[in-house]
Amino acid sequence: MAKQAVGLLETRGLCCLVSGIDAALKAANVELTGPMKNVGSGLCNAVVTGDVAAVKAAIDAGADIASGLGEVVSAHVIAHPDEAIQQVITGEKAGSGKK
């Protein structure tokens, strides 16, 4: 399987994150990777994966919608992540199946 790009959207407040990720998932062929997480101090983040163009389009659309509802702290795309990033995102070791 080819490496997939990773997109991260972080907002201050859950409402704008949910709306932003909803828009991102509708805008392009990407998948939500794991649950949306509360980082602390009102910061929430979510991760999407897919091919580079789809992730870029999804994160741009999600950040645009979320910024209209609240504060977007970060919107970032990692085009070709290293295999070790998989462990950070999903909590499982790179190259291993789910436990």
Residue pLDDT, tens place only, 43-86: 999 999 999 999 999 999 999 999 999 999 999 999 988 888 87
- Tell me if the domain spanning 5-90 has CATH number 3.40.50.12280: no
pLDDT, tens only, 12-55: 999 999 999 999 999 999 999 988 888 888 999 999 999 999 99
Structure tokens at 41: 């101090």
Instruction: Give pTM, 2 decimals.
Output: 0.85
Give the span between the Cα atoms of 5 and 43, in whole angstroms: 23
**At what angle are helices 14-27 and 52-69 packed, to 10 degrees?**
140
